[in-house]
Amino acid sequence: MSEKITGAEALIKSLIAEGVDRVFGYPGGAIMPVYDRLYDYTDQLKHILVRHEQGATHAAQGYARVSGRTGVVIVTSGPAATNTITGLSDALMDSTPMVVITGQVASAFLGSDAFQETDVVGITQPITKWAYQIRRPEDIAWAVARAFYIANSGRPGPVVLDFAKDAQNGLVEWSHEKCNFIRSYIPYPEVNRDDVAKVAEMINKAERPLILSGHGVMISGAENELAALAEKADIPVAATLLGLSTMPSAHPLYKGMLGMHGNIGPNVNTNRCDLLIAIGMRFDDRVTGDTSKYARQAQIVHIDIDSTEFDKNIKTHATIHGDAREVLTQLLPLVKEAKHTEWLKTFDECDAVEKERVIKREVFPEEGLMLMGEVAHKVSAATDDKAVLVTDVGQNQMFSSRYFRYSLPKSIITSGGLGTMGFGLPAAIGAKMGAPERTVCFFTGDGGLQMTLQELGTIMEYGTAVKIILLNNNFLGNVRQWQEMFFNARFSQTPMINPDFVQIASAYGIKAENVESREQLDGAIERMLAHDGAYLLNVSIEATDKIFPMTPPGAGVDEILITPDEKYQLS
Amino acid sequence: MEKQLYTVTVFSENQVGLLNQISIIFTRRCLNIESLSVSPSSIEGVHKFTITCYSDRVMMEKVVQQIEKRIDVLKSFLYTDEEIVYQEVALYKVPTERLLDETQLEVIIRRHNARILEITREYTVIEKTGHSDETEALFEELKHYDIRQFVRSGRVAVTKSPVEYVDLFIEQQNRRKDIAE
């Protein structure tokens, strides 16, 4: 008989057995037994003390997305648990493996409105892959193993373990139980050979094929297989926001980003291709625009590990249910070598217009205040296009993701589905911790930065070398753009009176400088990247800067504005 | 798209909170559950939910997929009335003295194939099994006798298909389990 240990210690041993060496968290009453045991395990399990529980979840997300490992969060009950809701919802939308452990009142008090009691499982069931309440110490080994298996298999997602205080204190004989099978759960479906053969034939017959590469390609690590397929059959590739960096920006077959503010070529050609091959993406409305006008001329193939995505938003002609890497590996030998030279040229025509009408004025302006696009372009170039880009949400997100260039996989971390302002700063901390060898550049706005600003304290405490580029226009810029374009320029509650961000950063011991004119920009970027540690650039941005191209809400994917009042015309 | 009554069956592991996980899938899409019944199934440790809902096929197919996506759900199926044999039970509580005045009582009971479960001096409980239009018909007739309580169960159903898909699924998963271990 092995020695009995407390449930709290069993949790910690289970986490270590799952390969966890870092958790993001915040202590409190109902989780104190766990924190007490943690005190003896800090050599094996590093705890990052965030400044707000929401920050813990986003940091875990950043960590998970840059490394592919499951992000782990430990918080107490009640308000701490409810503070994790935004991160859980974000992680579900963006398929991020995360295990959140919440303290809970002792099981005898459940349902009595005890101090800091809240119905965590009830609240989180709609926004998690699995939520479970541990009421007995005997269930810990099983529940933790199951949680990690569920979170990081198949289509990844967040899991909640709500841990009653008496189960933390109770004694149990613990031994690790590995979970690699759940009867009611098939994370990796067997790929149907007939489906693969059918799609291969469709690809072989296609004259104007187009691949849409999504987050699923990144999650399954199918970047090489994607490139091999595209090269063999000479198929252009476009990426969703979360699929950026699944193909290097410099690859000749990479044709840019999809979506509302994506590149003209892939958006317009979505409605000119004869075969659309969507891989690991979910036809989000920001990608499709008006679905009734979306790729009506094309045969649509959808490859995804989650079959509930098939025909959810866009009706398909063929599907392959399975892991992207496995599917692409099976497809490759069946696909014939081909050339689509004429078709590929049509992207160049779009690119030329975009370069002349949009990119030139955004990236190479000659006068006035700085623009977001030029800053992103310069930072990317200064990192040799090798940095991890973390963004907040809004114009800063669209400009930086558009004008960054990607040469390595897993190089973008952004809140795509949920669009969570305040995501960026903690996510950047987690990303730097998950990939310490890489430069992490965090682009944010003055609005989003202030939503989770307190995490500067986390940067200070752990010396996390995040490069913060604050695109400061003293406006909630994206809303301002919509107000200007669609609400008669009535700037309702979008101008912001801001603090002195350099002083704030300095108070946290973070090097910072104001960049007020174009002449200062190159030098400031150089100093930021050369500095061994965190750095903040407060960049003064022209408030009227607007993100284009733009598919306005309700329009078709090829109805693209290149200025507020000029549509892109097919030549 | 045309709306009609669909029957959804769900086979799940016996875990706390499954009902909530399933019902919020309907709530989120603004779908009203018409009837619901939950009980252990013929397979040990497996629970069966039978849910009816008015909607169109495209919506209901998505609902069934979302239900099946829940980790502890084994299988979920969608049926129209033609594909299943289904039944409900209704109970009617009527004052006994009103019934005693009625000369046609025997005829009513016989015609509706109902039966009397209990008779006291104060009240009588009549039971009727059938489809909702049948239990409704008896309700309409008994209305004249001052029904004090009326309750109708959720639908229960079995499929007409000769193939037992849940059994096949569990067999297949048992083989996978052997491979995984």
Question: A342, exposed or middle or buried, with CB in 10 Å at 0-12, 13-18, 19+?
Answer: exposed
Whether chain A has a CB inside 8 Å of the CB on B73: the answer is: yes
Instruction: Tell me how close the Cα of A122 comes to any Cα of chain B, in angstroms.
Output: 8
Q: Looking at beta carbons, which residues of chain B come within 8 Å of A308?
A: 62, 65-66, 69
Q: Looking at beta carbons, which residues of chain B come within 8 Å of A312?
A: 62
Q: Looking at beta carbons, which residues of chain A come within 8 Å of B16?
A: 133
Token readout for A202 is 């469709």
pLDDT at A553 over 60: yes
Q: Looking at beta carbons, which residues of chain B come within 8 Å of A306?
A: 69
* Res. B45 pLDDT band, cuts 50 70 90: very high
Residue A31 DSSP one-character state: G
What pLDDT is stored for residue B49 in this prediction? Answer: 97
pLDDT at A349 over 60: yes
Domains of chain A are 4-173 (3.40.50.970), 193-346 (3.40.50.1220), 369-540 (3.40.50.970)
Q: pLDDT tens digit string along A429-455?
A: 999 999 999 999 999 999 999 999 999
Which of A125, A183, A306 shows the shortest C-beta gap to B24?
A125
* Res. A91 pLDDT band, cuts 50 70 90: very high
Which of A181, A185, A308 shows the shortest C-beta gap to B66?
A308
B20 and A131: CB-CB below 8 Å? no
pLDDT at A9 over 60: yes
How many Å apart are CA A502 and CA B153, to the nearest integer? 67
How large is the average pLDDT for residues A522-538? 98
How large is the average pLDDT for residues A173-199? 96
Question: B106, exposed or middle or buried, with CB in 10 Å at 0-12, 13-18, 19+?
Answer: exposed
A81, A141 contact by CB (below 8 A)? no
Q: In what order do the strands lie in the sheet with A466-472?
A: A412-413, A388-391, A440-445, A466-472, A535-540, A511-515
Taken in order B161, B162, B164, B169, the sign of the CA dihedral is: negative
Say how far residue B17 (Cα) sits from the centre of its chain. 20
How large is the average pLDDT for residues B123-134? 95
pLDDT at A507 over 80: yes
B17 and A122: CB-CB below 8 Å? yes
Whether chain B has a CB inside 8 Å of the CB on A493: the answer is: no
Q: Looking at beta carbons, which residues of chain A come within 8 Å of B170?
A: 183
Token readout for A232 is 């063999």
* Res. A387 pLDDT band, cuts 50 70 90: very high
Of A326, A95, A391, the C-alpha closest to A216 is A95
Tell me the residue type at B143.
Answer: K
Instruction: Tell me how close the Cα of B48 comes to any Cα of chain A, in angstroms.
Output: 14
Residue A422 DSSP one-character state: T
How large is the average pLDDT for residues A343-347? 97
Token readout for A59 is 């940091």
Q: Please, what is the Cα angle at B79 between B75 and B84, to 5 degrees?
A: 105
A308 and B65: CB-CB below 8 Å? yes
Residue B134's contacts (CB-CB under 8 Å, 6 or more residues apart) are B112, B128
Q: pLDDT tens digit string along B7-23?
A: 999 999 998 899 999 99
The overall average pLDDT reported for chain A is 97
Of A326, A450, A371, A423, the C-alpha closest to A91 is A423
Of A76, A44, A48, the C-alpha closest to A62 is A48
Tell me the residue type at A35.
Answer: Y
Taken in order A193, A198, A204, A206, the sign of the CA dihedral is: negative
How many Å apart are CA A48 and CA B16, to the nearest integer? 33
pLDDT at A22 over 70: yes
Query: Cα-atom radius of gyration of chain B, to the nearest Å?
Result: 20
What pLDDT is stored for residue B102 in this prediction? Answer: 75
B28 and A126: CB-CB below 8 Å? yes
Q: pLDDT tens digit string along B51-110?
A: 999 999 999 999 999 999 999 999 999 999 999 999 999 999 999 988 887 778 888 889
A308 and B180: CB-CB below 8 Å? no
How many Å apart are CA A310 and CA B95, to the nearest integer? 56
Question: A425, exposed or middle or buried, with CB in 10 Å at 0-12, 13-18, 19+?
Answer: buried
Whether chain A has a CB inside 8 Å of the CB on B10: the answer is: no
How many Å apart are CA A467 and CA A535, to the nearest integer? 5
Q: pLDDT tens digit string along A110-138?
A: 999 999 999 999 999 999 999 999 999 99
Residue A429's contacts (CB-CB under 8 Å, 6 or more residues apart) are A48, A55, A59, A62, A455, A458, A459, A462, A464, A466
A512, A505 contact by CB (below 8 A)? yes
Question: Quick one: chain A helix, strand, coil %, rounded to 5?
Answer: 40, 20, 40
Question: B101, exposed or middle or buried, with CB in 10 Å at 0-12, 13-18, 19+?
Answer: exposed
Q: What is the DSSP string of A375-405?
A: HHHHHHHHTTT-SEEEE-SSHHHHHHHHH--
B13 and A121: CB-CB below 8 Å? no
How large is the average pLDDT for residues A301-320? 97
Question: A175, exposed or middle or buried, with CB in 10 Å at 0-12, 13-18, 19+?
Answer: exposed
Domains of chain B are 4-79 (3.30.70.260), 87-152 (3.30.70.1150)
How many Å apart are CA B52 and CA B6, to the nearest integer? 6
Of A96, A219, A84, the C-alpha closest to A161 is A84
DSSP reduced 3-state for B141: helix
User: What b/e string do you get for A453-466 counting C-beta neighbours within 10 Å, with b at 16 or more?
Assistant: bbbbbbbbebebeb
* ipTM higher than the 0.90 cut: yes
Which residues are paired to A537 by β-bridges?
Answer: A469, A513
Token readout for B150 is 């009326």
Q: Is the peptide bond before A549 cis (omega within 30 degrees of 0)?
A: yes
Token readout for A505 is 């950063």
A443, A393 contact by CB (below 8 A)? no
Instruction: Give the chain A residue nearest B14 (alpha carbons).
Output: A184
| CB hemisphere CA count around B96 (13 angstroms) | 10
* Res. A2 pLDDT band, cuts 50 70 90: confident
Measure Cα distances from B2 to A375, B24, B55 in Å.
Answer: 53, 23, 8
Q: Looking at beta carbons, which residues of chain B come within 8 Å of A183?
A: 13, 74, 170, 173-174, 177
How many Å apart are CA A405 and CA A420, to the nearest integer? 23
Whether chain B has a CB inside 8 Å of the CB on A150: the answer is: yes
Q: Looking at beta carbons, which residues of chain A come within 8 Å of B71?
A: 129-130, 150, 182, 184-185
Whether chain B has a CB inside 8 Å of the CB on A181: the answer is: yes
**Percent above pLDDT 70 for chain B:** 100
pLDDT at A216 over 80: yes
Say how far residue B158 (Cα) sits from the centre of its chain. 10
pLDDT at A477 over 70: yes
B12 and A121: CB-CB below 8 Å? no
Longest dimension (CA), chain B: 71
Of A259, A234, A232, the C-alpha closest to A244 is A259
Whether chain A has a CB inside 8 Å of the CB on B171: the answer is: no
Q: Looking at beta carbons, which residues of chain B come within 8 Å of A185?
A: 71
Whether chain B has a CB inside 8 Å of the CB on A126: the answer is: yes
Residue A291's contacts (CB-CB under 8 Å, 6 or more residues apart) are A283, A285, A313, A314
**Percent above pLDDT 70 for chain A:** 99
B71 and A182: CB-CB below 8 Å? yes
pLDDT at A1 over 90: no
Q: pLDDT tens digit string along A237-279?
A: 999 999 999 999 999 999 999 999 999 999 999 999 999 999 9
A240, A215 contact by CB (below 8 A)? yes
Whether chain A has a CB inside 8 Å of the CB on B69: the answer is: yes
* Res. A571 pLDDT band, cuts 50 70 90: low
DSSP reduced 3-state for A80: helix
Whether chain B has a CB inside 8 Å of the CB on A129: the answer is: yes
* Res. A569 pLDDT band, cuts 50 70 90: confident
Q: How far apart are the first and last CA of chain A?
A: 79
- Where do runs of H (alpha helix) occur along A215-356? 215-220, 223-233, 264-270, 285-288, 324-331, 341-354
How many Å apart are CA A146 and CA A143, to the nearest integer? 5
Q: In what order do the strands lie in the sheet with B33-40?
A: B33-40, B46-55, B4-13, B73-79
Instruction: Give the chain A residue nearest B28 (alpha carbons).
Output: A126
Token readout for A383 is 């990192």
Tell me the residue type at A458.
Answer: T
**Which of B48, B68, B71 has the most A C-beta neighbours within 10 Å, making it the best mutation to test the interface with A?**
B71
